Amino acid sequence: MTLIGKRWVGLVVSQLLTGKKRFSDIENSLPISGRLLSERLKELEELEIVERRVYPEVPVRIEYVLTKRGQELENVIHSIAAWADKWGNSKKGTS
């Protein structure tokens, strides 16, 4: 819960569920600063949820992809999204 509860982690993982992405692709799809996105990607790398792939081209191409561990978060992310769709707009105190 500590990991998923961190700001932007769920949305970054959600972006990567559709496949490998460049930093700029993720940054352009979310209202997040480059500094914070970089921080979150590094944290996810350290936890072996995201793999950073560097291609020795000119200019260098860097892509981010979910590891097997990261891919296993798919059901969690979809469940949270479904809950938010159902309850996210409901008024406080109603059921």
66 φ/ψ sector (left φ>0, alpha ψ -120 to 50, else beta): beta
Which of 50, 76, 77 has its CA nearest to residue 65?
Answer: 50
Half-sphere exposure of 13 (CA within 13 A, CB side): 28
Contact by Cβ (8 Å): 58, 47: no
Q: Which pLDDT score, from 0 to 100, does residue 73 have?
A: 95
Share in percent of the chain as helix, strand, coil (round to 5): 55, 15, 35
Domains belonging to the chain, first-starting first, are 2-86 (1.10.10.10)
**What pTM was computed for the model?**
0.84
Residues in the chain: 95
Q: Which residue has the higher pLDDT, 51 or 86?
A: 51
Q: State the average pLDDT over residues 4-11.
A: 89
Q: Which residue has the higher pLDDT, 89 or 64?
A: 64
